[in-house]
A and B are shown apart, each in its own frame.
Chain A
Amino acid sequence: MSVNGMIEFIAALLILVGSIMAVISAIGIIRFQDVYSRSHAATKSSTLAVSLTLSGVFIYLLVSESIFSVRMIMGIVFVLLTSPVAGHLIIRAAYRSGVEMTDATLEDELAEVLKKKEKQMEEEKASKDTGVKSDEVLE
């Protein structure tokens, strides 16, 4: 087996491992119980699957066809950059719109922080209102 053949085999192995990771993350997306843990399966392992497979394809085409594809590198970098951002935004939207957590959830730390922040904002607003009123009384 020549060196090129070995590198092609390693690239195909990378592609195979990436597809197995994709199936594992798909199993996670149907087996987990609520949106938050499902997004854990969908974004992290799916990003790993995509970067493994696309780098395998890049290496394979580089060795067998001697195509150095800048577009493939751009695709890998783009997926690596955007997939966590998209996951964060959709889960933020899910939390803000009040999607329920599963019953196995032990604690929700963000709810306390949000409540405290809301109370602070209300107090600031109230003090600002009274300040305006006292100015009016003075005039």
Chain B
Amino acid sequence: MIETMLQVSFTLFGVAIVIALYRIIFGPSLPDRVIALDMIGVNLITAIAIVSVILDTKAFFDVILILAVLAFISTIAFSKFIEKGGVIIERKRDD
């Protein structure tokens, strides 16, 4: 019973990631794509947590923390790039 519920929820996270991939590919603007990327990162964190429950191990907890940090930093860098046209050195964007 519990195993079935875990597998179903793992599958549902996979479905959510696939739906977000649609928005990344066909998103009309750059912020759309960045939002969907952030969402994929967050869903990946939870999927890895479910994997660590299914396999009964605590080896993946470091992966969860590092993925959370990476998703956050990448979203911040993307938003700074969209707003000001550069991440560390500011350049003027043409469009």
Query: Which residues of A pack against B, CB within 8 Å?
Result: 8-9, 12-13, 15-16, 18-20, 22-23, 25-27, 29-30, 35, 38-39, 42-43, 46-47, 49-50, 53-54, 57, 60-61, 64-65, 67, 69, 71-72, 74-75, 78-79, 82-83, 85-87, 89-94, 96-97, 99
Does B12 contact A93, Cβ atoms closer than 8 Å?
A: no
A94 to B16 Cα, complex, angstroms: 24
Contact indicator B65/A78 (Cβ below 8 Å): yes
Contact B31 A90 (CB under 8 A): yes
> Known contacts A46-B43, A54-B49, A91-B31; can you find 10 more A-B pairs with CB under 8 A?
A15-B50, A19-B9, A19-B16, A29-B20, A50-B45, A54-B45, A65-B58, A78-B69, A82-B68, A89-B76
Q: How large is the interface on B (under 10, 10 to 19, 20 to 34, 35 or more residues)?
A: 35 or more
Give A75 to B52 CA distance when docked, in angstroms. Answer: 14
Q: Are B2 and A71 in contact (CB under 8 A)?
A: no
Q: Which of B20-75 contact A (CB under 8 A)?
A: 20, 22-23, 29-32, 34-36, 38-39, 42-43, 45-46, 49-50, 52-53, 56, 58, 61-62, 64-65, 68-69, 71-72, 75
> Which of B5, B62, B82 touches A97 (beta carbons < 8 Å)?
B82
Are A50 and B46 interface neighbours, CB within 8 A?
yes
**Residue in A closest to B29 when the chains form the complex, CB atoms:** A99
A-B pair count, CB < 8 Å, reads 168
Contact of A79 with B45 in the complex, beta carbons under 8 Å:
yes
Do most interface residues of chain B lie in helix, strand or loop, or is the interface mixed?
A: helix
> B12 to chain A: which residues have CB within 8 Å?
19-20, 22-23
Answer whether residue B87 sits at the interface, using C-beta atoms and an 8 A cutoff: no
Instruction: Give A96 to B64 CA distance when docked, in angstroms.
Output: 32
> B94 an interface residue at 8 Å Cβ cutoff?
no
CB <8 Å contact, A71 and B61? yes
Enumerate chain A residues within 8 angstroms of B52, measured Cβ to Cβ.
57, 61
Cα distance A50–B76 in the bound complex, in angstroms: 19
